[in-house]
């Protein structure tokens, strides 16, 4: 039996759904259309097959997610991942944190920042610019969110332009969405459970 992962990691777990994914062979025309694009252009896995139960939202959600995470210009790819991690850590979504922490490490060629985030509740040891992005994303993720104009000013003081700040908002917000699906509809396991 595969164990549930209970602490933050950069090793991507298996996401085990609580509801039954649709069967691709039995998918409707609308479901197949919604599955044409996958998050991060990965294979069609359990997650998107679960979301395909609601193809009308999935059809727009996937290109929106990919557009926020991978559009050119604005915030760097690594800082976009940092905002995603800050939100996922705040929501305690172990699966999303693992995926995006590992991508951050790949992009930055360092593991130190993620080690700091996993070990310090406020991540105050991060470099100032990184910490300002982390803190803004964390505050926006709370329920209710706790950001105000002062938090935007802190980003501008660290040299972020308005297009970069908009990207921080979008990256954090899309993980408010993603975390609620990942946390609510399944759980992170060490590996795919063996069929009994």
Q: Does 40 bind other proteins (CB under 8 A)?
A: no
Q: Does 153 bind other proteins (CB under 8 A)?
A: yes
Cβ atoms of 93 and 183 closer than 8 Å? yes
Cβ atoms of 96 and 175 closer than 8 Å? yes
Map residue 72 onto helix, strand or coil. coil
Out of 6, 24, 124, 166, the only residue in the binding site for other proteins (CB under 8 A) is: 166
Cβ atoms within 10 Å of 58's Cβ, excluding its own:
20
Buried b (16+ CB within 10 A) or exposed e, 20-42: ebbeeeebeeebeebbeeebeee
Cβ atoms of 5 and 189 closer than 8 Å? yes
List all residues 6 or more positions away from 116 whose beta carbon is below 8 Å from its beta carbon: 123, 125, 126
Helices (H), 46-161: 46-51, 55-70, 77-90, 94-108, 112-119, 128-141, 149-157
Minimum distance, C-beta of residue 166 to other proteins, in the bound complex (Å)? 5
Q: Does 172 bind other proteins (CB under 8 A)?
A: yes
Q: Does 115 bind other proteins (CB under 8 A)?
A: no
Span interacting with other proteins, options 103-111, 115-123, 139-147, 188-196, rule CB under 8 A: 139-147
d(CA 162, CA 52): 35
Out of 53, 78, 107, 125, the only residue in the binding site for other proteins (CB under 8 A) is: 53
Out of 82, 89, 179, 188, the only residue in the binding site for other proteins (CB under 8 A) is: 179
Q: Does 118 bind other proteins (CB under 8 A)?
A: no
Out of 152, 158, 189, 190, the only residue in the binding site for other proteins (CB under 8 A) is: 152
Q: Does 56 bind other proteins (CB under 8 A)?
A: yes
Span interacting with other proteins, options 5-13, 39-47, 106-114, 180-188, rule CB under 8 A: 180-188
Q: Does 180 bind other proteins (CB under 8 A)?
A: yes
Q: Does 149 bind other proteins (CB under 8 A)?
A: yes
Using CB under 8 A, list all residues that contact other proteins. Answer: 18-20, 50-51, 53-54, 56-57, 59-61, 63-64, 67-68, 71, 73-74, 91-93, 140-141, 143-145, 147-153, 156, 161-163, 165-170, 172-174, 176-181, 183-185, 187
């Amino acid at each position: 039996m595969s164990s549930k992962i209970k602490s933050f990691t950069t090793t991507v777990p298996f996401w085990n759904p609580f509801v039954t994914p649709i069967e691709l062979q039995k998918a409707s025309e609308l479901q197949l259309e919604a599955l044409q694009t996958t998050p991060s252009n990965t294979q069609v896995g359990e997650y998107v097959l679960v979301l395909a139960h609601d193809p009308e939202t999935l059809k727009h959600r996937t290109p929106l997610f990919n557009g926020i995470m991978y559009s050119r210009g604005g915030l760097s790819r690594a800082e976009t991942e940092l905002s995603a991690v800050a939100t996922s850590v705040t929501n305690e979504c172990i699966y999303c944190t693992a995926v995006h922490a590992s991508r951050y490490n790949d992009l930055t060629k360092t593991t130190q920042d993620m080690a700091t985030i996993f070990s310090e509740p406020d991540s105050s040891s991060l470099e100032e610019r990184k910490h300002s992005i982390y803190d803004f994303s964390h505050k926006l993720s709370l329920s209710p969110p706790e950001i105000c104009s002062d938090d935007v000013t802190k980003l501008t003081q660290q040299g972020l332009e308005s297009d970069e700040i908009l990207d921080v908002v979008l990256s954090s917000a899309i993980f408010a969405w993603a975390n609620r699906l990942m946390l609510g509809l399944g759980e992170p396991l060490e590996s795919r459970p063996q069929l009994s």
